[in-house]
Each structure stands twice: as C-alpha cells, then as structure tokens.
Amino acid sequence: MKRIRQLGERRKKRTSNEQTRYTSESSTPFHTSLEQNINEIKKTLGDSSDLVVREFKAGTNESMHIAVLYTDGLADKTLVQDFIIEPLMLDIRNTDLTSKAFTNRSSLEILKTFSIASGEVTPIGDFDTFYQYVLSGDTAILIDGDTEGVAIDSKGWEDRGVNEPTSQTVIRGPKDGFTETLRTNTALIRRKIKDPNLWIETKQIGTKTHTDVSIIYLNGVVDPKLVVEVRERLSRIDIDGILESMNIEELIQDGTYSPFPTIFNSERPDTVAAGILEGRIAIVIDGTPFALLVPALFVQFFQSSEDYYQRFDEGILIRLLRYLSFFLALLTPSAYIAVTTFHQEMLPTPLLISLAAQREGIPFPALIEAVLMELTFEILREAGVRMPRAVGSAISIVGALVLGQAAVEAGIVSNAMVIVVSITAISSFVMPAFNMSISVRILRFPFMILAATFGLFGIILGLIGMVLHLCSLRSFGVPYMSPMAPLIMKDQKDGIFRAPLWALRSRPTFLSENSTRNQTPSPKPDTK
Amino acid sequence: MKRFICRLAPLVLCLFSLTSCWSSKELNEVAIATAIGIDKSDSGYHLSVQVLNPAEIVSFNPTSRTAVTTYQTDGETLFQAFRRLTVEAPRKVYFSHVQSVVFGEEMAKSGILKTLDFLSRDHEMRTDFLLVIAKETTAEELLTVLTPMDKIPASKMVSSLENAEKNWAPTHTVKLDELINTLVGDGVEAVLTGVLLKGDPEIGMDMGNVEKVHPPTTIQISNIGVFKRDKLVGWLTEDESKGFNYLQDNVKSTIINVPCSDNSAASVSIEVISTKTKLTSKINNHIPTITAAIQMEGNVGDVECKTNLTNPQNLKEVEESVENDVKDKMVKSVKAAKELKSDIFGFGTLLYRNHPGEWKVMKQNWDEAFQEVEVKYEVNVTIPRLGTITESFQRKGDD
C-alpha cells in the first residue's frame, strides 16, 4: 500500500514537470535569422529525411527570403505546391514588397493577407509549436528576419478510407466504419447528428505521440457532471504514447481488477451516435477505428445496433438468446463436470448410460479432460487470430481433426466433451461485444475448478460471487448492473428487452436529466 | 479491502486443496445398478444386483459380452450385503438409477418390511423405483434373464409394467412411498404386481436367449399379489386383479369382452377410454356398506358377430353386459380379498375418514369385520362411439 502511494506521488511530481516542459511558453522562440532557425530545426529532427525544406526568394527584388517546411507523406503535396509555393513564388514575384502599401505591415501579415489561399492559418512563434504542427501534416512558412511564422493546414496522407467494420458486422444497417483518422471519424458522427449541440472537444494526450483525443457529446442531453468527470480523468493521463483506445480505456476505467469491461467500444458510427443520443460521451482517438463510449452498462454489451434495425420482437428474442449463450459459454463445461462427477442422479438414466459408455477408458478425470479441450480450443482460436492468412487452412484442418475425431478415437477425451467444448465456443461468439466474450473466457476456468471441487454448490457459489462483484462495479458513477440493480422500471424498455421504437420515449434515466426524446404526441401507429 | 483479500486468499486456496473433491466420483469409476433383487437366505438376505455395462448398451458394434451383469452376495442385514458387493463388483455400485426392486416369492411370503428401511433411508437411493415380486421364482433368477429389444432387462420390466397398467389394467405399479404407506397404514393392505419368468432360467442368462426370434426365456408381467401386513398371502387372478383396479380407480384403459346379443359364441370388444370410481360408505347396525359408483366410457373396438350396433337397442344391450362384466369382476375381487382376509381396497381407511367414531371400535377386530362388509355396485357405462366403421360387414358377408 505504502509503496503504491509513493509511486502515485512520484508520478504526480513528474506530471507537473513534464507539463511545464511541453507548454509553448517555455520553449525556445524563433530566432530572427532564417538560416539559424532552419539549422536548429534540422538538428533537432536529426536531419530526418521526411522533412522537406524549400527555400526561395520572393518579391520584385528578391527582398523576402522565405522557407516552406512540411513533412513528406503527411502533407498533401499538390496542395502545398499549388496553393502555397506557387502563389508565393509566382504571384508576388512582380509585387514590390517594399512599396508604401506594405510598409507598416510585417512581411508575414502581408503573406497571410494577400498570398496564402488556405482556410486554416495559425501563427507560430516557437520551435515546439512548429514541431507540433509540421509533424502532424501542416506546412510552415518561415521568413527571414521575422520571429513568427505561420502553419497552414495541409494534412493529406495516405488513408484507409471508410470501410465496412470488420469487428461488429450487421446484416441490415449502415455499413460504414470508423477509420484511423480522427477527422474522418468525427465527420462520420457529425453526418449522423447534424445538431449545433453536438460538441466536440479535442485535446492532445501523450508526451511523445501527441495523439488527438476528442470527446463528443450532445450538449443539453448529457449530464454536465459526466463531462467534467471525463475531462478530469483524461487530463490525469500522463503517458508517453497513446496508440489505441484501449490505452485510454485502461487509464480511465473504474474497475481495473475486474474481468468485466466498464467502457464500451465500437467501430460503428451508428452505435456511437446512438450512444451520444442517449446522453453518453464518445471518446474518439486518432489512429484507431475504435471509439469509446462511457458510461457503459452490463446490458449494453449484449445489445447490437441491429436490434433496432430489425423488428422489435425479433430484437427481444435475439437479446434473450445472447443472455442464454452468455451463460452457456460461461457454465457449460463446469455444469458438465459437476453433473458427471457429483450429481449423476440428476441425469436421465439413458443419458447417464450413454455418457458412462463414452467415459469408459478415458484416462483423465472430467476436469482435466475439460481443461485440456478448452485449452486446445483457446490455443486454436489464438492461432487463428494471429497467424498469417496464408496458413489459415492448415489451422482449420488441424483444429477440426485434433479437436474432433482424433482426440476421441485416441481415447483421450470423450465425445460428449467435444460437444460441450463446441457449444461453449460457439456460444462465446454470439456476444456482440468482443471484450465481454473475453471476460467469459477468463471466468470459465475458475468456474470449472469450482465445479470440480464442490459440484453444483461451487457453481452457485461462484455465480453469487460474480453477481455481487457485478453489482459493486460502477462505470463513471453509474451502477454497472442498472437498470436491473438498482431496478429502474422505466428503463426496462431498453435493457434486457427492446420495446418498439415508439415506446422508447425517454432516455435512460441514469444518463440524462433531460430524458424525454420529444416524441409527443406518441407516434404509435393507429391501431384502427 | 486489499488487506482483507490478501488474508482471505490463502484460506480460499486451502479450501480448494484440502477438501480435494472428496465426494466426487467419475463416471468410469462407478457401476450403475438398474435392478436390485432381494431373496431370503439362511444367513439373512441374498442380494442380486443387476449392473450395466454401458459401453455394450450404446455400442453400434456390439461384442459378445452381455449388456448387464448380475452380482450376488449374502448378508445378515441388507446394508451389509450391499457393501459386501464390493468384493465381487469391480467398481463401486451406484444405486441412484435403480429402476426396480424385485422380491423373491419366498422373501415376500416371509415379510418385506425390514428390507424397506434401508431402501428408504440410504441417501443414494431415489425412491422412484418400482417394486415387484418374482412370482414362483427367486429374484436372483429373474434378474439374470437377458431380454431382446431393450438391452437392459430392468427397464424392459419397468416399461412393460407401465404399459400394461396403462393399457391392460390387471397390473398396478407400486413405488416405495405407496408401499410403505399401505404396509404401515391402518385399514389397508399392500399389493405388489408379480413378474413371471417363463422358460428355463439357465437359457435366459445366455446371450443365445436374445439371438432368437422367439426368445425361449422371457419376463412377463403377471397379476397382483396380496399382502397381509408385510407378508405375501396369495395372488389374484387376472379378472380379480382387474376388479381390484376398477375399485381403486386405477384403470386408465382396458378391453372388455362381452358376448354378442345374437347368441352366437362370438363377442364384442369394448375399449374403455375413461373410468371414474367413487367409493362411499355407510354404517347400518354396525355393518359397514361400501357403495362403488363407476362412470365408464368406452368405444366399440371389435365386433365379431352380426349385431347391428347402429340400433340403439342393441347398443344398450352391449352397455348392460359391459356393466355386468365390470360388476362381476369387482365382486370376484372382493370375494378373493375376503378369502385372503386382506383389505387391499382400503375400505378401513375409507371408514376411518367417514366414520372415525365407529372405526375406533371396528379397528380392534377389523379382520372379522371386513368379512361382513357389504359392497354395492353402481356401474354406468356409455358407449358414445362405434369406431371408424358403423355396421359390421359380416352381415353382408353372409347374404
């Protein structure tokens, strides 16, 4: 305990140090000499080959010494040439920059006002700001004799483009997915919610990566305290790099020592937009197509956006199916172990006979048999994710043969165990949120041990423990198990069940004060 | 909180490692028993246990091994005999799936009450097995017969019993609770269905028995055995057994044959589809009178003569003869019970419920009083349906 506290203090100290170092006030301002500036930039960047420095003279008597700097690959080359270099080199060649009209202005102002045809122009005065802009794709213009330069937005790098999401597929519904570019992603959300109250706050996190992180919410719907909380938690992050939204998730989530996820992630703009409409906050991170949604509830991980794109009765049944498969994936192996080693009297006689016949000659106890098969399956699954695509078929052949026929024929496992493992495997794939199925994967093994030592009592004990733990969890102040615990009758319409859309007139009460969705009078179809 | 978990964790770990699944038993470490046979022996009990050979039962490529094995031991008490099984059986015998318990006839005649204590006390026994008597043989011999169709002789016996009770009526399945209630209850005596061994038991225990189209040795469900207290005192005939079941409202369906009205030797068969029996009692002059009111509904199932049943008059006649037949069987069964001095119908219990005061007196010498019980029968039979053909085509055939 003491040590942890000490660590925390040390980290706090470091935070304050680094923050001062990286604010632009403390960084070195530009020198007046352009050459000196360029030399220093090149020195700092270690002569990196992707920095392009184009120097030239402009004005009638070449009175102005200008340098254009941009990062090759990050900046849009045509844009830089057509709208920045060309006007500077050609259009003002015949302008007398020393004429009376310009005397009272700095050369930079002249350029800004007359020559640069770009929407986003920011003045920069020191090296750190320069690096920040140029290394994220902007083009900088520095002028000899001036201690200020400008950064012009010219971002345009090779991009994957908007593709169909691969992790959360639907049959009916929008097929666009987030990309690795933050701007594209915010645009995808903005395209779904064209409301002035959709506010996007952006900040950079990561002392080295300077990753853009946006929090997006619907002002007036979201609980203002929640926004403050999210801001506060994000500002507490002090780390050198953010490469994926999981980095953020791990640093701001409530229960680190819980197997259950308390932050929802999605690759789908429609899911995120729906969350924002309900009063949640989306956290979109540059460089990853996975956006976060907070707060997240247990039931949320069993909901797919397609529930709302199909008939509501189907939605209800599919959700029930998901809960069923959650328990199947969690408990099938442990229930099999418990019943076959402790409670044989529970089975119908013919089933018992058939199971007993299969177990004849199996050298291991049921627990070892189950763990063996589950481990094999987990290894296969991991191999299937990690291996190069070209050897994919090899894995499936080996998997089908090893897991299936051969293991049984060799007398290592029984047929029933193969069925149990298969049911478990298939059920765990039903979960629409992959991180929930990982939780199930982890919990399955403790449950198997409990079942092997205490039988069904052990399973029930484990379940009680699990439910207690779930009820103790919170996600950004919201009880994780709501609307079941605490029971909120009003929110049952869109928890385990899914009511028809015309009945979903209020937002979840725990998320938003302003809870009506303004469907008055009710648009319920006339029954007559 | 963290300190609490740190202290709890070792305790939980101990829990797992020290208890070491003490009560677990893997499926391949137990032998599943399906039937228990209890016979009398010089020292006490002779126990036969029919144990399954699961691999042989579910196998698609059966070998020459039998699907069941019977192990036998002796013991002074039943529990001792059960535990002594371990010297012969290769695994621990597991009794939760026992489907039937068979008493040898000798055993039944000498009293079965003592054996029931273990059967209902032991936690491993589910009390949903059927109890039967091996008629004219020992339980040991009955449990060694191999049966075709159903590879497990015990489940053949149980399903035969249940089917016979449902469709044919002169049998009655008795489970442990009912048997104990009737054995220890006042004013009622126990019954158990008998099971017959037909053929040579030596051939029955051989695989050859099930390799023939017509197995030389078979197990057959027989009639009802009557107990006086816990001792078997006699057997009812098929008619008497049926009468017993009519009176007890146990009949679900059966076939009743009545002679044709045209005086030919042929007969009409009626399929009973529903019966309802109500017993009421009255006491006149210290003589109890029991009235059995039976509402019965039946279908015409088989007409082997020329009677035209579309004629209401003829149908009425059939109904009447069915009524007489039912009544006749009940009379026979009451007579048989009186001869055996055993109140298997529970008339005593009925009197106790309706006339508790008089029953207190009558209870003292119920055996004699039972002889004087008068039984009145009110049978009402209706035949609403004639089957899928109306007129018998035998009428045409003769023309």
DSSP assignment of A390-423: GGHHHHHHHHHIIIIIIHHHTTSS-HHHHHHHHH
- Per the structure block, which two tokens stand in for B214? 């017509």
How confident is the model over A87-106, as a mean pLDDT?
Answer: 67
Beta-strand pair A149-152/B30-40? unpaired
Q: Across the interface, which of A1, A357, A454 has its CB nearest the CB of B58? A: A357
Beta-strand pair B68-75/B45-52? antiparallel
Residue ranges of alpha helices (H) inside A27-180 are 34-44, 77-79, 86, 107-110, 127-134
Beta-strand pair B191-198/B130-135? parallel
Q: Is B20 close to A365, i.e. CB distance below 8 A?
A: no
How confident is the model over A400-412, as a mean pLDDT?
Answer: 80
Over 80: is that where the pLDDT of A401 sits? no
Categorize the per-residue pLDDT at A166 as very low, low, confident or very high, splitting at 50, 70 and 90: confident
- Looking at the structure, tell me whether residues B197 and B61 fall in a common domain: yes
Q: Is B27 close to A344, i.e. CB distance below 8 A?
A: yes
- Looking at the structure, tell me whether residues B52 and B143 fall in a common domain: yes
Residue linked to tokens 């506010």: A199
Instruction: Give tens-digit pLDDT for A427-452.
Output: 999 988 989 999 999 999 999 999 99
**Total of domains in chain B:** 2
Q: Which residue, B235, B251, B275, sits at the end of a domain?
A: B235
Q: Across the interface, which of A1, A349, A355 has its CB nearest the CB of B2? A: A1
Residues on chain A touching B3 (C-beta within 8 angstroms) = 1
The fraction of chain A above a pLDDT of 70, given in percent, is 88
- Looking at the structure, tell me whether residues B160 and B276 fall in a common domain: no
Q: Across the interface, which of A360, A361, A452 has its CB nearest the CB of B21? A: A452
Q: Is B97 close to A349, i.e. CB distance below 8 A?
A: yes
Q: Is A353 close to B25, i.e. CB distance below 8 A?
A: no
- Looking at the structure, tell me whether residues B314 and B355 fall in a common domain: yes
Over 80: is that where the pLDDT of A16 sits? no
CA distance B25 to chain A (A): 5
Closest CA to A369 of A404, A433, A413, A324: A413
Tell me the C-alpha distance between B241 and B222, whole Å: 10
Helices and strands (H, E) in chain A, number of each type = 18, 12
Q: Is B27 close to A454, i.e. CB distance below 8 A?
A: no
Angle at alpha carbon of residue A515, lines to A510 and A519, rounded to 5°: 145
Task: Look at residue B14 and tell me if it is in a domain.
Answer: no
Tell me the C-alpha distance between A124 and A148, whole Å: 6
Categorize the per-residue pLDDT at A11 as very low, low, confident or very high, splitting at 50, 70 and 90: very low
Task: Look at residue B10 and tell me if it is in a domain.
Answer: no
Residues on chain A touching B96 (C-beta within 8 angstroms) = 344-345
| The predicted structure's pLDDT at residue A399 | 77
Q: Is B27 close to A355, i.e. CB distance below 8 A?
A: yes
Task: Look at residue B1 and tell me if it is in a domain.
Answer: no
- Looking at the structure, tell me whether residues B82 and B103 fall in a common domain: yes
Q: Which residue of A has its CA nearest to B16?
A: A453
How confident is the model over A462-468, as a mean pLDDT?
Answer: 95
Tell me the C-alpha distance between A158 and A76, whole Å: 9
- Looking at the structure, tell me whether residues B228 and B290 fall in a common domain: no
Residues on chain B touching A1 (C-beta within 8 angstroms) = 2-3
| The predicted structure's pLDDT at residue B70 | 93
Find the helix or strand (DSSP H, E) in which B80 lies. helix B78-84
Task: Look at residue B336 and tell me if it is in a domain.
Answer: yes
Question: Mean pLDDT across chain A, nearest whole number?
Answer: 85
Q: Is B24 close to A452, i.e. CB distance below 8 A?
A: yes
Q: Please, are residues A261 and A435 in contact by the beta-carbon 8 Å criterion?
A: yes
Q: By the CB < 8 Å criterion, does A344 face chain B?
A: yes
Q: Which residue, B184, B201, B235, sits at the end of a domain?
A: B235
Per-residue pLDDT of chain B in tens (399 residues, 90 and over written 9): 778 888 888 877 777 676 656 778 888 888 999 999 999 998 889 999 999 988 888 877 777 788 899 999 999 999 999 989 989 888 889 999 999 999 999 999 999 999 999 998 988 888 889 999 999 999 999 999 998 888 899 999 999 999 999 988 888 999 999 999 999 888 899 999 999 999 888 888 888 888 889 989 999 999 999 999 899 999 999 999 999 999 999 999 999 999 887 767 788 899 999 999 999 999 888 889 999 999 999 999 888 888 888 888 888 988 999 999 999 999 999 999 999 999 999 999 999 999 998 898 888 888 888 998 999 999 999 998 888 887 777 766 555
Q: Is A366 close to B59, i.e. CB distance below 8 A?
A: no
- CATH number of the domain within which B309 lies: 3.30.300.210
| The predicted structure's pLDDT at residue A103 | 61
Tell me the C-alpha distance between A365 and A356, whole Å: 13
Q: Which residue of B has its CA nearest to A456?
A: B24
| The predicted structure's pLDDT at residue A155 | 86
The fraction of chain A above a pLDDT of 90, given in percent, is 44
- Looking at the structure, tell me whether residues B167 and B46 fall in a common domain: yes
Non-local CB neighbours of B243 within 8 Å, separated by 6+ positions: B329, B330, B331, B332, B333, B334
Tell me the C-alpha distance between A129 and B224, whole Å: 103
DSSP-derived letter for residue B356 is: H
Coil, strand or helix: which one is A368? helix
- Per the structure block, which two tokens stand in for B178? 């009912």
Q: Which residue of A has its CA nearest to B14?
A: A453
Tell me the C-alpha distance between A167 and B337, whole Å: 78
Over 70: is that where the pLDDT of A261 sits? yes
Q: Is B21 close to A453, i.e. CB distance below 8 A?
A: yes
ipTM of this complex prediction, to 2 decimal places: 0.83
Task: Look at residue B175 and tell me if it is in a domain.
Answer: yes
Q: By the CB < 8 Å criterion, does A341 face chain B?
A: yes
CA distance A268 to chain B (A): 39
- Looking at the structure, tell me whether residues B94 and B129 fall in a common domain: yes
- Per the structure block, which two tokens stand in for A348? 């119908």
Is the peptide bond prior to A350 cis by the omega test (within 30 degrees of 0)?
no
Cross-strand bridge partners of residue B302? B269
Tell me the C-alpha distance between A133 and A120, whole Å: 12
Over 50: is that where the pLDDT of A15 sits? no
- Per the structure block, which two tokens stand in for B179? 């048997």
How confident is the model over A14-35, as a mean pLDDT?
Answer: 60
Tell me the C-alpha distance between B187 and A292, whole Å: 77
Q: Across the interface, which of B2, B28, B99 has its CB nearest the CB of A359? A: B28
Task: Look at residue B6 and tell me if it is in a domain.
Answer: no
Give which of B27, B51, B52, B94 to mutate to test A binding, by max A Cβ within 10 Å.
Answer: B27
How confident is the model over A177-186, as a mean pLDDT?
Answer: 93
- Looking at the structure, tell me whether residues B308 and B319 fall in a common domain: yes
Q: How distant, in Å, are the alpha carbons of A197, A201, A517, B151, B249 from that of A193?
A: 9, 16, 14, 70, 74
Q: Is A341 close to B27, i.e. CB distance below 8 A?
A: yes
Over 60: is that where the pLDDT of A4 sits? no
Over 80: is that where the pLDDT of A118 sits? no
Task: Look at residue B22 and tell me if it is in a domain.
Answer: no
- Looking at the structure, tell me whether residues B220 and B337 fall in a common domain: no
Q: Is B52 close to A365, i.e. CB distance below 8 A?
A: no
A residues 441-460 closer than 8 Å to B (CB): 449, 452-455
Q: Across the interface, which of A1, A345, A359 has its CB nearest the CB of B126? A: A345
Over 90: is that where the pLDDT of A10 sits? no
Q: By the CB < 8 Å criterion, does A147 face chain B?
A: no
Count of beta carbons in the 10 Å neighbourhood of residue B165: 22
- Looking at the structure, tell me whether residues B166 and B287 fall in a common domain: no
Task: Look at residue B15 and tell me if it is in a domain.
Answer: no
CA-based end-to-end distance of chain B: 101
Cross-strand bridge partners of residue A198? A218
CA-based end-to-end distance of chain A: 68
Cross-strand bridge partners of residue B343? none
Q: Is B26 close to A452, i.e. CB distance below 8 A?
A: no
CA distance B223 to chain A (A): 27
| The predicted structure's pLDDT at residue B397 | 57
Cross-strand bridge partners of residue B221? B195
Structural domain that includes position B347:
237-399
CA distance B388 to chain A (A): 38
Find the helix or strand (DSSP H, E) in which B51 lies. strand B45-52
Over 80: is that where the pLDDT of A337 sits? yes
Interface of B with A (CB under 8 A): 2-3, 16, 19-21, 23-28, 30, 32, 34, 52, 54-59, 94, 96-97, 99, 124, 126, 152, 155
Q: Is B26 close to A353, i.e. CB distance below 8 A?
A: no
How confident is the model over A220-241, as a mean pLDDT?
Answer: 92
Is the peptide bond prior to A500 cis by the omega test (within 30 degrees of 0)?
no
Spell out the domain ranges in chain A: 27-152, 182-296, 315-479
Instruction: Give tens-digit pLDDT for A498-520.
Output: 888 888 878 888 777 666 776 66
| The predicted structure's pLDDT at residue B277 | 93
